[in-house]
Structure 1
Amino acid sequence: MFYSTVRFLANIYLNIYYRFEVIGRENVPEGVAVILAPNHIHWADPIVIACKVTAQTISFMGKQELFRNPALKWLLTKLTVIPVRRGEADVTAVKSALRVLKNNGILGIFPEGTRVKQGEEKPPEAGFVVLAIKSKCGILPVSIEGNYKFRSTIRIVIGKPIDLSPYYGKKNDRETLEDIGLKLMKEIKELGTTR
């Protein structure tokens, strides 16, 4: 209820300030565990994705630093955001993420791990690939483009879920995981060229 209310209010704000073009909503599975993986260009991306991609709850993974402010910590917790310590193996965050997927929820992860300006590139972190293989769920690639200027158009393209079942039950080394991540990131980028 809280998530839906905040989403409704945020949508009002977003529709006043921006225009939206959303392609591929039909690709979002319902009642099935999936990792939603968008590129990350602006601090408001999680809000836009949560409001425009699906009415289902998306549990995003967010940097631990956001939880230092007590009021923001309360809000993010209510919105099912999972705190993660970047740059280290955060077992608690991994367990929380796997719990979301085990309950057939949607887990939101920005593969690059931080904001990357349009036109620039950063290798993705392998964590989202590990989670997908461990939980045996698909990865939903999402491209988001726009400059977030008043009344500008923000374009969102949702691809079809990517199946990683050939890697289930195997001992995938770091190089393999990184290679999968790079291929997935390429697919996300290519969605942005879809017309």
Structure 2
Amino acid sequence: MNLYKIAKSVVALIFYPLYRIKVIGKENVPNKGPVIICSNHISNLDPPVVGITSPRDISFMAKDELFEKPFIGWLLSNIQAFPVKRGMSDRNALRKGLATLKDGHTLGLFPEGTRSKTGELGEPLSGAGFFALRSDAVIVPCAIIGTYQPLKQLKVVYGQPIPMEELRTSKATAKETADVIMSEIKKLIDFNK
């Protein structure tokens, strides 16, 4: 059993009862092939929550400063996370993300790029659109609904894959594509509140 599986089991054991996590739409995540799971970002706990509720193992980008901290850096590297320099185009992170998808794995992204201080959806950056357009991945929107208060229910909703053919053939920009992804996340939040 690798560290990812161990960490996932331990976190699930704590988080499921603590936040009364309810998962909806897990069947919308394909069993194989490249997948990008795009979620809203309301807390630092979002990556582990998406990680434990997804039926697939996920590689997340994490801000590069975290990799400089001895234990956290080691842990992140061993649970399939990889560093990204925020506020600039990080070619290494882009290459790593595309390679993850090319190998048929799952990439977890938070299109807003940073967590929302208010809980409201923010403007998406173009990164999610870049990966969606440059890969053959299935794009699955995900909504985290709740406040991370102990014993208050937290919902994690996986929506149906977003049709990408039209965006890919019409040469949509990365930002336009990210906007479409965010609008699908918003629909999940509005419908499941």
> Would the TM-score normalized by the shorter structure come out above 0.5?
yes
Q: In 2, distance between residues paired with 1:96 and 1:69?
A: 21
1:181 matched to which residue of 2?
A: 178
2:107 matched to which residue of 1?
A: 107
The residue type equivalent to 1:91 in the other structure is: R
Cα RMSD (Å) of the superposition?
A: 1.6
Structure 1: tracts of 5 or more residues without a match: none
Cα deviation, 1:19-69, whole Å, max 9, x if unaligned, reads 011110110101110110000001101101111122x21001111111110
Q: Which aligned pairs between 1:150-189 and structure 2 lie closer than 5 A?
A: 150-168=150-168, 172=172, 176-189=173-186
Which stretch has the larger CA shift, 100-109 or 116-125?
A: 116-125
Q: In 2, distance between residues paired with 1:20 and 1:80?
A: 23
Cα deviation, 1:92-130, whole Å, max 9, x if unaligned, reads 111111111011100001000000145534210111111
Kept after mapping to 2: 8 A contact 1:140/1:158: yes
Kept after mapping to 1: 8 A contact 2:128/2:174: no
* 2:10 is aligned with 1:13: no
Q: In 2, distance between residues paired with 1:61 and 1:188?
A: 19
* 2:187 is aligned with 1:190: yes
Kept after mapping to 1: 8 A contact 2:133/2:174: no
* 2:50 is aligned with 1:53: no
User: How has the CA–CA distance of structure 1 residues 51 and 131 changed in structure 2, closer, same or farther, with 3 Å as cutoff?
Assistant: same
- SS at 2:150's partner residue? coil
- SS at 2:191's partner residue? coil
Which stretch has the larger CA shift, 74-83 or 127-136?
A: 127-136
Q: TM-score, normalised by structure 2?
A: 0.92
Give the share of equivalent positions with the same residue, in percent.
Answer: 37
Cα deviation, 1:113-166, whole Å, max 9, x if unaligned, reads 000145534210111111111112221100001111111100111101113223
Kept after mapping to 2: 8 A contact 1:137/1:163: no
How far did 1:170 drift? 6.4
Kept after mapping to 2: 8 A contact 1:33/1:137: yes
Which stretch has the larger CA shift, 72-81 or 121-130?
A: 121-130
1:30 matched to which residue of 2?
A: 31
1:147 matched to which residue of 2?
A: 147
- SS at 2:187's partner residue? helix
Runs of 4+ in 1 over 3 A off after TM superposition: 167-172
Q: In 2, distance between residues paired with 1:42 and 1:177?
A: 25
The residue type equivalent to 1:100 in the other structure is: T
* 2:63 is aligned with 1:66: no
Q: In 2, distance between residues paired with 1:67 and 1:110?
A: 18
- SS at 1:144's partner residue? strand
Q: TM-score, normalised by structure 1?
A: 0.92
